[in-house]
Amino acid sequence: MSLVKHPLNNPYEFEGTHSYLLEYISKCKSGDILIGQELMMMLDKLLTHFDDPEIKIDFTDGHKRIKFIETKCKHFEAPFAGKPFLLELFQKAFVEAIYIFKIFDEEINRYVRLYQDILFLVARKNGKTPLISALCLAEFFCGEMGTRILCSSNDYEQADLMFQAINSMREESKTLSNVTRSNIKGIFFGNPKKPKKTGKFSYKNKGQIKKISAKTGAKEGKNIKVGAVDEVHELKDNTSTMPIRQAVSTQDEPLYIELTTEGVINEGYLDERLREARQVLNGELERPRWLIWLYTQDSEQEVWQDEKSWDKSNPGNGVIKKRSFLRKMIEEAKTSKSMRVFVLSKDFNIKQNNASAWLTPEDIKNEETFDIEEFRNGFAIGAVDLSKSGDLADARILLMKPGSQKKYMLTKYFIPASKLEELNREDREMFKEWIRQDLIAVSPGNENDFSLVTAWFVKLFKDYGIRVYKTGYDKWSAIYWSKEMEDYGFDCVRVSQDWGSMSEPMKLVEADLKSNLINYNNHPIDKWCLENTALNINSKMEIMPVKVQGKEDKKIDGAVTMIIAYKVYIDNRTEFLSLVGR
């Protein structure tokens, strides 16, 4: 087909109607708008629909919803709060692509919408949640009577973001709020203050908008027309999406939308969906009812080398999302592994392995040593990772000198004799050498003798006068061990190994290692544990340590105790430094 240009203002028309989709495709083809190859493949497919005799082009539904959003919906968050929701061209093209293509359904004997399953992948802060929220509200009012809509996500908080976006837009419009009501259960038609007895906007309309999370039970049995699932990258499997997809299956024209950025969960739900989506785009899999709208980069290399390429994953660049923000993120990503993982996945939709190495060899390499005599009669922070009683354990102290930010680490490892025999040959020989060097204490039998851990802390005081200010211990530590420590006069504090506790200290350990502010006395087991450690990252950019993928049999206890020690240090920095400075 050809694009017909009007001689005056050059709109792109199809049979006399301006098409935002055709305008968008044309500008993408000409290079005026930069997109990645994956979206271009979808647009090429959409372009063939205009010449397909099996597909009817009808702009009515799409343009009705675009008009509704732009005239009835208002933004509710700064810096656009209170302003009309004026859609960008890429947003109008996306809405149009959902609605304008119709095929004849012989089962119900009429034309219905071609695309009923939508995958919308775009980098964060490009307005995806407000857009889909506005589209859900438009469907609620412009769709048929009794339309039921369900907002879903991995957790209730994220599902509530979309629901609150819908409700806030509803409240911003007197026209919409006058004929609807909302409560903790959802949004409904009918206003008790201005009741209507009949019609679409009365109590007789049983349409509703509700929210649900992956953790909510009893998802089966619902009958909905529109299901919108936000941030599907956080889902581990399809257990929360399949009931929603099944719930819309009874409708003549259902609409199931998945919106997300890329993520870091390995082999999660999104990974499988994107594998299938790319098979569809490459013609390897037939899914004619699936609209696949992916804003992706063509390579990671271009992110670092060509700022213009950022538009491929960020269609709202310069209007919705600030370019200066992306520049700042890129600069931070150059020096921080956690920031790099987060930025590449969330700002550029480049899949990151959340179990790849946390630190580079250059970060870990530090051959500095120190003499414990330098800290005689000083103060320290303690940390232990007793882990499971039948595994490797580690005890550590963190020492500092007055007026210096450098941290000095002294550590001792512990292992049951039986565990040595379970190691592979290479690791077993390595561990035996460390035992000969007195870096590891061996407990007889199948369990660690935690009294040896206590004895190590006591020996530090007896031999060097080192007083441990506070000792952090992990959740696996036995109550009896902490009680034993307290009997000797040690102050033990619990450090939970979760996102909230581990994220900040782990980031500071990384920064200090990169800045050569940690002297771990060139300890070979510390170095080995750091090499085995990966970072896991969540949607809030919080991190915590995990084992590198493929190294599940290796140990990370030394890295964990470093992080625990830093957690205690951060929580007690002022008091500890005052003791160090005495």
Q: What would the mean pLDDT of 310-331 be, rounded to a whole number?
A: 94
pLDDT tens by residue, 51-76: 999 999 999 999 999 999 999 998 88
- Mean pLDDT on 33-43: 98
CB 232 within 8 A of CB 273: yes
Average pLDDT of the chain to the nearest whole number: 90
The full 3-state SS of 172-227, as one line of letters, equals HCHHHHCCEEEECCEEEECCCCCCCCCCCCCCCCCCEEEEEECCCCCCCCCCCCEE
Contact 262, 349 (CB under 8 A): yes
The helices-and-strands tally (H runs, E runs) of the chain is 21, 23
* Mean pLDDT, rounded, for 277-304: 96
% the chain with pLDDT above 70: 95
CB 300 within 8 A of CB 350: yes
In this predicted model, what pLDDT tens digit does every residue of 385-426 receive, in sequence order? 986 556 899 999 999 999 999 999 999 999 999 888 888 888
SS3 assignment, position 20: helix
- Choose from 73-87, 472-486, 564-578 the range with maximum mean pLDDT: 564-578
Residue 282 has pLDDT above 90, yes or no: yes
Please give the pLDDT value at position 412. Answer: 98
d(CA 159, CA 241): 13
Ordered domains of the chain (ranges, CATH) = 4-346 (3.40.50.300), 361-580 (3.30.420.240)
- Angle between helix axes 557-571 and 573-580 (nearest 10 degrees) is 90
Highest mean pLDDT among 157-171, 328-342, 505-519: 505-519
CA distance 570 to 561: 14
Alpha carbon distance 215, 239 (integer Å): 10
> Given a cut of 50, is residue 119 above it in pLDDT?
yes
Region of residue 371 (left: phi > 0; alpha: psi -120 to 50; beta: else):
beta
Amino acid at residue number 540: K
Question: Residue 432: phi, psi to the nearest 5?
Answer: -65, -40
Q: Given a cut of 70, is residue 9 above it in pLDDT?
A: no
> Above pLDDT 90, what percent of the chain?
70
**Predicted pLDDT of residue 199:** 85
**Whether the Cβ atoms of residue 244 and residue 224 lie closer than 8 Å to each other:** yes
For the segment 445-453, the average pLDDT, to the nearest whole number, is 90
From residue 191, give the alpha-carbon distance in Å to each of 69, 169, 173, 203, 308: 21, 16, 14, 8, 49
Question: Cβ contacts of residue 106 below 8 Å, gap of 6+?
Answer: none
Q: Under a CB-based contact definition with an 8 Å cutoff, are residues 127 and 98 in contact?
A: no
Contacts of 184 by beta carbon, 8 Å cutoff, 6+ apart: none
pLDDT in tens, 207-263: 999 998 765 554 444 678 999 999 888 888 888 788 888 888 888 899 999 999 998
For residue 80, pLDDT beyond 70: yes
Q: Tens digit of pLDDT for each residue in 508-566?
A: 999 999 999 999 999 999 999 999 999 888 878 899 999 987 777 889 999 999 999 99
